[in-house]
Amino acid sequence: MTTLEDIVKLSQGAIWLKADLHIHTNASRDISPEWADSTPEDIVKIAIEKGLDLIAITDHNTAANCDAIQKAAEGTTLTVFPGVEISTPQGHLLALFDVGTPSSKIEDLLIELGISRENFGELDIASKYNIFDSCNIIEKVQAIAIAAHIDGEKGFLKTITVAAERKRAYEAPGLRCLEIIDPVLRNKYQNGAASGYDRKLACIQSSDCMGGGASRHKLDNMCSRYTFLKMGNRSLSGLKLAFIDPEMRIRLRDDHNPNPKDTIMGMWITGGFLDGEQFRYNDNVTCLIGDTGSGKSVSLELLRFGLNQTPTVPKIKQEVESLLKQQLGNLGIVHIVLKKDSCYYLVERTWGTPPTTPTVSRLTKGNIEKITEDIDMQLFFPIKAFSQSEIIEFAREPTVRLSLIDDLIDCTSEISKIKETKLKLQQNAANIQIHIGKKAKIQSELNDLPTLMESQKQIDIVLNDGRIVQHQNWYKERTLLEQSLTQCTPARLGRV
């Protein structure tokens, strides 16, 4: 039975790999003391923990640890390029060899450059050749020459003080790449914007196992700077291709991470025309190549069927259903492996009359845990997929074409703002209605005010009449008399 491991083992084509191509070990004599007793296994473990796919071992003038670290990485996800950091009179160079190259071949290069065996690993010796000649010798032995930390200490931009010599080093045919500390330099050299330096050279960033102001190499500074490289295979030829086409195949640490968050990893089929076929999809662009009738269109429709996102245009929908019925036969099953938010899922759907709804399982450490709650695949993992005939049909309808463009524009933030604005407008409308009611009440009271004022005036005239005033005075006197009589005690009343 096909498993996630089977799918992952299939070739994915060119993918983005996280690389640190300047790593020092305890074979470098300027390693920090706390790492003096580190092992090859420590190097591999730290690299994997930091998410690296590729590293290059580049100790100073020695390849002492290359064989052991390559062996330690066997069976892991890490690829190790053996190499060396070479001291020249004009600055440091990295020489990277193909995966599996023995250290003896690297040592042969050092000897050819004039570094004797007894001086391997020494920090205060240098090649007898300048950068121009050293790069060409590195190229001749089928390795890749990279100018190390060109804007840092021992980098040729600072080491070579004569402008003509600096330019000659830059123009060395064997120089394939520049290692930069400041990413701003990429535009100058990779894009040819530096005055007098017309040649465009790929630029990468690597850690040198330095960081945080450290003056010695530390393994925990591995990956403090790194580069994403798009490579079809993890080999020296893959590196060369990336350096030849840096605009498409190189991303620096501060660039947008080129790896998508959610991906369709692969698919396999049980039953029907493609029974047993396995598909491994690329994280970026997948291209299916084959003759007419080889199953390219079928594979697309099987993918859409498995994710329950088949065509909505009636004519195309009928054609696709007929195709699926023919290809999947009786109870054929589509199995799809997804990666979503760093979790892996297996989606399975069986053809039938009617077809079943997709089932989703979570994949964890080789276990399959079925998710029991209902999942809407169009919300869980939406895709945009179109068959050839569907695209032709869309081309006939201008409104459909516009809808496709609209679907590719992310209006999430704008839609959220519109909803917030509508809610505020509704609240304002409610407040306005309350104030309209208050206004109507006040207006009604204002309309009655003249009548009330006239009534008050008439009452005031009546109350100021002499007879009314005399009556009020009499009433007050009577009230005072009654109060005084009430205060008198019964005994006093009796004597009177």
120-134, 254-268, 328-342, 397-411, range with the lowest pLDDT: 397-411
Q: In this structure, are strands 227-231 and 278-280 parallel, antiparallel, or unpaired?
A: unpaired
* H or E, element range at 5: helix 4-9
Cα Dmax for the chain: 151
Distance CA 486, CA 69 (A): 120
pLDDT tens-digit map of 176-232 = 999 999 999 999 999 888 888 889 999 999 999 998 777 899 999 999 999 999 998
Q: Give the residues across from 202 on adjacent strands.
A: 177
- CA gyration radius, the chain: 42
Which ranges of 464-489 does DSSP label H, i.e. alpha helix? 466-487
- Per-residue model confidence (pLDDT) at position 400: 67
Say if residue 353's pLDDT is above 90.
Answer: no
Tell how far CA 72 is from the center of its chain: 30
Of the chain, the percentage scoring pLDDT greater than 90 comes to 54
How many C-alpha atoms does 479 have within 13 Å on its Cβ side?
6
Distance CA 221, CA 35 (A): 11
Q: Give the residues across from 359 on adjacent strands.
A: 348
- Per-residue model confidence (pLDDT) at position 164: 94
* Phi, psi angles (nearest 5°) of residue 484: -70, -40
DSSP code at position 100: T
Distance CA 191, CA 197 (A): 10
- Per-residue model confidence (pLDDT) at position 3: 66
pTM surpassing 0.75? no
Say if residue 46's pLDDT is above 80.
Answer: yes
40-44, 170-174, 360-364, range with the lowest pLDDT: 360-364
Say if residue 115's pLDDT is above 90.
Answer: yes
pLDDT tens-digit map of 328-345 = 877 889 999 999 988 899
* H or E, element range at 494: helix 490-495
- Per-residue model confidence (pLDDT) at position 459: 83
What number is the average pLDDT over the span 303-318? Answer: 86
* H or E, element range at 86: strand 79-88
What number is the average pLDDT over the span 430-436? Answer: 90
Please determine, looking at this structure, whether the domain spanning 14-252 carries the CATH number 3.20.20.140.
Answer: yes
Q: In this structure, are strands 144-147 and 91-96 parallel, antiparallel, or unpaired?
A: antiparallel
Say if residue 261's pLDDT is above 50.
Answer: yes
Q: Is the dihedral of CA 337, 340, 342, 347 positive or negative?
A: negative
Q: Is the dihedral of CA 378, 379, 380, 384 positive or negative?
A: positive
Residue 211 and residue 25 in contact, taking contact as beta carbons nearer than 8 Å: no
Q: How confident is the model at residue 495 (pLDDT cuts 50, 70, 90)?
A: very low
Q: Which of the pair, 314 or 92, is modelled with greater confidence?
A: 92
How many C-alpha atoms does 132 have within 13 Å on its Cβ side?
10
Contacts of 323 (CB under 8 A, 6+ apart): 297, 298, 301
Q: Which of the pair, 336 or 392, is modelled with greater confidence?
A: 336
User: In the structure encoding, which two tokens stand for residue 14, read together?
Assistant: 């060119």
Residue 87 and residue 60 in contact, taking contact as beta carbons nearer than 8 Å: yes
- Per-residue model confidence (pLDDT) at position 496: 40
By three-state DSSP, how is residue 207 classified? coil
pLDDT tens-digit map of 393-416 = 777 777 666 766 666 676 777 888
Residue 349 and residue 308 in contact, taking contact as beta carbons nearer than 8 Å: yes
Omega within 30 of 0 (cis) for the link into 258: no
Omega within 30 of 0 (cis) for the link into 355: no
Say if residue 354's pLDDT is above 80.
Answer: yes
Q: Which of the pair, 484 or 134, is modelled with greater confidence?
A: 134
Where are the extended beta strands (E) located within 128-226? Answer: 144-147, 175-179, 202-204
Computed over every residue of the chain, the mean pLDDT equals 89
Residue 53 and residue 78 in contact, taking contact as beta carbons nearer than 8 Å: yes
Residue 59 and residue 51 in contact, taking contact as beta carbons nearer than 8 Å: no
Say if residue 489's pLDDT is above 60.
Answer: no
Residue 283 and residue 53 in contact, taking contact as beta carbons nearer than 8 Å: no
Angle, CA of 217, 202 and 46, to the nearest 5°: 30
User: In the structure encoding, which two tokens stand for residue 262, read together?
Assistant: 């959610």
Taking 3-state DSSP, the helix, strand and coil percentages for the chain, each rounded to the nearest 5, stand at: 40, 20, 40
pLDDT tens-digit map of 58-72 = 999 999 999 999 999
How many C-alpha atoms does 451 have within 13 Å on its Cβ side?
5
Residue 210 and residue 22 in contact, taking contact as beta carbons nearer than 8 Å: no
* H or E, element range at 228: strand 227-231
- Per-residue model confidence (pLDDT) at position 27: 96
378-382, 417-421, 445-449, range with the lowest pLDDT: 445-449
What number is the average pLDDT over the span 467-477? Answer: 80
Q: Which of the pair, 450 or 217, is modelled with greater confidence?
A: 217
- Per-residue model confidence (pLDDT) at position 490: 56
Class (C level, CATH) for 263-403: alpha beta
Please spell the DSSP secondary structure of 266-335, one letter per residue: EEEEESSTTTT-EEE--SS-------TTSSHHHHHHHHHHHTT----SHHHHHHHHHHHHHHH-SS-EEE
